[in-house]
Amino acid sequence: MAEDTRTEIPVRPVLLAALRQDQKQNLDYELEELENLALANRLEPVETFIQALDRPNPATYFGKGKVEELRLAVQTYEADLIVTNDELSPSQIHNLEEATQATVVDRTGLILDIFAQRAQTKVAKLQVQLARLEYQLPRLRTSMSVSLDQQTGAGGGGFTSRGAGETKLEQSRRRLTSEMVSIKKELEALQKDASTQGKKRQESAIPTVALVGYTNAGKSTLMNQLLTRFGQGAGSDSSKQVFEKDMLFATLNTTIRQLTLSDKSRFLLSDTVGFVSKLPHHLVAAFESTLQEAANADLLLQVVDVSDEHYQSMMKTTENTLARLGIKDKAMITVYNKADKADLSFPLVDGEAAITISARDRQSQDELLGLVKKALFTDRKEVTLKVPFADSAVVAHLLDDHELLSQDFDETGTTVKLALSPDEINRYQKYIH
Ligand SMILES: Nc1nc2c(ncn2[C@@H]2O[C@H](COP(=O)(O)OP(=O)(O)OP(=O)(O)O)[C@@H](O)[C@H]2O)c(=O)[nH]1
Ligand SMILES: [Mg+2]
């Protein structure tokens, strides 16, 4: 398989090609996304070809006329790469490559390449490699079939070590499969540690909030802003910040941090990989454990870049991706971000589950946190507890993460007013007045 040679070349002209199969399809959005994916791979789209066809041509995906146009454009632009909007079958890729004399890559291939470049942590690297191998496995035929035909034509290669009837293709398949098995093992071992941490967190009963949404929406920016103000060692330690940048898939690994608000209420906030439409299913599968943070969260914050004209399609993409991950019926606040860029007024709260903000605006952050608190701690009730001095440790413990609403003493003990959850009310029943 060709390694990442493509990514080392700074800018390379490419042709984009798409089929319009359905009038309802938002092809504009899909093509803008494809263009961004290409740019993120340092490819420069020079022309886009669209063909309206009810169903793809079984042999070459595009119809004859469009294939000819592509062939000519390959020569005109001296482009040797065609990026297709959808996944083609291995034989379609092969035939189209033959007809146009260019390499054909699809959207999935682009996404996998970007992920491969961005992966930093060991887990992310292994996850991406696994997804790439799974993607390559059924496509081996494309590059192998040529040499395979030549081989049989020449009466076989003559490798005596080769098993009876085992072709080069089968050997490659076997190599990929065994590599996949060993990556899976390594990942399982690494993730065992992570899941014990997850369990610990669940036991600690601190509610969790997960940032989700389309790539580049501003999830990491929001996380950093909140960390600076409410993270552990807030304002001092910039090394705890997560990576934010104006590019696709800046974040691949999941980061979880605890926030402690001024009223002492606490929750864990997680930032994770962003979504894109048609996120390759291999990638979703490979990142499933990373994305579990969202599945386990008590509350989702869907961050939306409201300054992008396609923001509604992006929201749909996020919803579809969550559904694919089996995440549904979860409490969610929609955070329309980048209002400054969109020239909308902010902060603007719309009910209990929607807010328009600008991530770096303090007032926006406060309003958003107000909604988060309402969603997380809505079932808390104000109660008065009378705790004898002998049990004063209980009060100290409660004051760790509860705001003291009022306090009084007499000769028998302390009387405190706090807002407690139904669970806590149960637990501390004997002190409740
Ligand atoms: N104008 C403006 N830009 C913002 C705002 N929030 C984030 N950005 C910018 O948007 C870009 C992407 O921000 P990130 O926080 O990295 O986005 P993300 O959602 O974490 O992206 P992925 O990790 O790729 O999923 C950065 O250049 C940010 O500076 C905002 O409220 N207003
Ligand atoms: Mg990010």
User: Domain ranges in the chain?
Assistant: 5-117, 119-157+165-195, 206-376, 381-431
User: In this predicted structure, what is the pLDDT of residue 332?
Assistant: 96
CA of 223 to the centre of ligand 2 (A): 9
Long-range contacts from 225-230, C-beta under 8 angstroms, 24+ separation = 225/359, 225/360, 225/365, 226/259, 226/269, 226/365, 226/369, 227/257, 227/259, 227/269, 229/362, 229/365, 230/259, 230/260, 230/261
User: In this predicted structure, what is the pLDDT of residue 168?
Assistant: 82
Q: In b/e form, how buried is each residue of 344-378, taking b as 16+ CB within 10 angstroms? A: eebbeeeeeebbbbbbebeebbebbbebbbebbee
CA of 358 to the centre of ligand 1 (A): 10
Does residue 118 have its Cβ closer than 6 Å to ligand 1?
no
Domain 206-376 falls under CATH 3.40.50.720: no
Q: What band does 292 get if pLDDT is binned at 50, 70 and 90?
A: confident
CA of 33 to the centre of ligand 2 (A): 17
Report yes or no for ipTM above 0.95.
Answer: yes
Does residue 223 have its Cβ closer than 6 Å to ligand 1?
no
User: In this predicted structure, what is the pLDDT of residue 209?
Assistant: 95
Q: What band does 194 get if pLDDT is binned at 50, 70 and 90?
A: low
The CATH superfamily label for domain 5-117 reads GTPase HflX, N-terminal domain (3.40.50.11060)
Locate 349 and state its tokens: 């709260």
CA of 336 to the centre of ligand 1 (A): 12
Does residue 308 have its Cβ closer than 6 Å to ligand 1?
no
Q: What band does 100 get if pLDDT is binned at 50, 70 and 90?
A: very high
* Ligand that lies nearest to the alpha carbon of residue 359, given by its number in the listed order: 1
DSSP-assigned beta bridge partners for residue 381: 420
Does residue 231 have its Cβ closer than 6 Å to ligand 1?
no
Which atom of ligand 1 is closest in space to residue 244's alpha carbon? 16
Q: What band does 241 get if pLDDT is binned at 50, 70 and 90?
A: confident
Question: Is the pLDDT score of 253 beyond 60?
Answer: yes
Phi, psi of 76 (to 5 degrees): -55, -50
Question: Is the pLDDT score of 274 beyond 80?
Answer: yes
Within 13 Å of residue 81, how many CA atoms lie on the same side as its CB?
A: 20
Does residue 402 have its Cβ closer than 6 Å to ligand 1?
no
Equal CATH topology for 5-117 and 206-376? yes
CA of 216 to the centre of ligand 1 (A): 5
Q: In b/e form, how buried is each residue of 249-259, taking b as 16+ CB within 10 angstroms? A: bbbbbbbbbbb
Question: Is the pLDDT score of 183 beyond 90?
Answer: yes
What lies within 8 Å, CB to CB, of 329 at 6+ separation is: none
Question: Is the pLDDT score of 190 beyond 80?
Answer: yes
Residue nearest to atom 32 of ligand 1 (CA): 338
The Cα 34–Cα 48 span in angstroms is 10
Does residue 340 have its Cβ closer than 6 Å to ligand 1?
yes
CA of 132 to the centre of ligand 2 (A): 22
* Ligand 2 ion local residues (Cβ < 5 A): 219-220, 250-251
Q: What band does 196 get if pLDDT is binned at 50, 70 and 90?
A: low
Determine the residue of 118, 216, 269, 367 to mutate for testing ligand 1's pocket, defined as the one with the most ligand atoms within 8 A of the Cβ atom: 216
Which atom of ligand 1 is closest in space to residue 358's alpha carbon? 31
CA of 125 to the centre of ligand 2 (A): 17
